[in-house]
Amino acid sequence: MNTSNMTFPLERNDVVSLLQQFKISPTRQRVEIAEFLFKRPQHLSAEKILDGVIAEGNRVSRATVYNTMGLFANKGVVREILIDRERVFYDSNTAVHQHLYNVDTGELMDVYDTDVDLSAAPELPEGLRIIDTDIIYKVTSK
């Protein structure tokens, strides 16, 4: 299952398959966290994930959520979006896209390449190639 073209929400068996595809042991807590995360394309902080998983009646610790999200990000199951050193979001949509962060509201939204002209890649030193880009447009009210 490729996360860049998945259909939301993921059912429990799809979550287990996804974790196994990424060589992640599908423990009860990891599955519960992933089920909450993959209900829809969304950008969530670890705290919001913790609150949501607990609200669904699951028992999980703060440390488990942080460790699990770090694992998911390192393995490529989710994208980790660093706004600044105090704000980190986890994006369940791993398709190629950029982000728009509203400083006033704290909302993070997707921006797709069709909405932005990114045709001018920077000149790279010989022997290097671009493997990924993270562009975050920070906006505020006028």
Q: What is the CATH number of the domain that holds 63?
A: 1.10.10.10
Residues 57 and 103 reside in one and the same domain: no
pLDDT reported for residue 27? 98
Q: What does the pLDDT look like over 36-74, one tens digit per residue? A: 999 999 999 999 999 999 999 999 999 999 999 999 999
Beta pairing class for 98-102 and 136-139: parallel
Distance in angstroms (rounded) separating the CA atoms of residues 30 and 16: 9
The mean predicted confidence, pLDDT, of the chain is: 92
Q: Judge whether 33 and 53 are in contact, CB under 8 Å.
A: yes
Number of domains in the chain: 2
H or E element: which one contains 88?
strand 87-91
Residues 20 and 83 reside in one and the same domain: yes
Residue 116 reports pLDDT greater than 80: no
Residues 102 and 34 reside in one and the same domain: no
Task: From residue 24, give the alpha-carbon distance in Å to each of 3, 16, 79, 109, 116.
Answer: 14, 9, 16, 28, 35
Distance in angstroms (rounded) separating the CA atoms of residues 50 and 64: 9
pLDDT reported for residue 2? 58
Residue 5 reports pLDDT greater than 80: no
Distance in angstroms (rounded) separating the CA atoms of residues 48 and 128: 38
pLDDT reported for residue 130? 84
Residues 55 and 38 reside in one and the same domain: yes
What is the extent of the structural domain holding 23? 3-91
pLDDT reported for residue 3? 65
pLDDT reported for residue 10? 95
Residues 108 and 82 reside in one and the same domain: no
The last residue of one of the domains, among 69, 91, 113, is 91
Distance in angstroms (rounded) separating the CA atoms of residues 68 and 74: 10
110: how many CB neighbours lie within 10 A of its CB? 15
Q: What does the pLDDT look like over 15-36, one tens digit per residue? A: 999 999 999 999 999 999 999 9
pTM over 0.85: yes
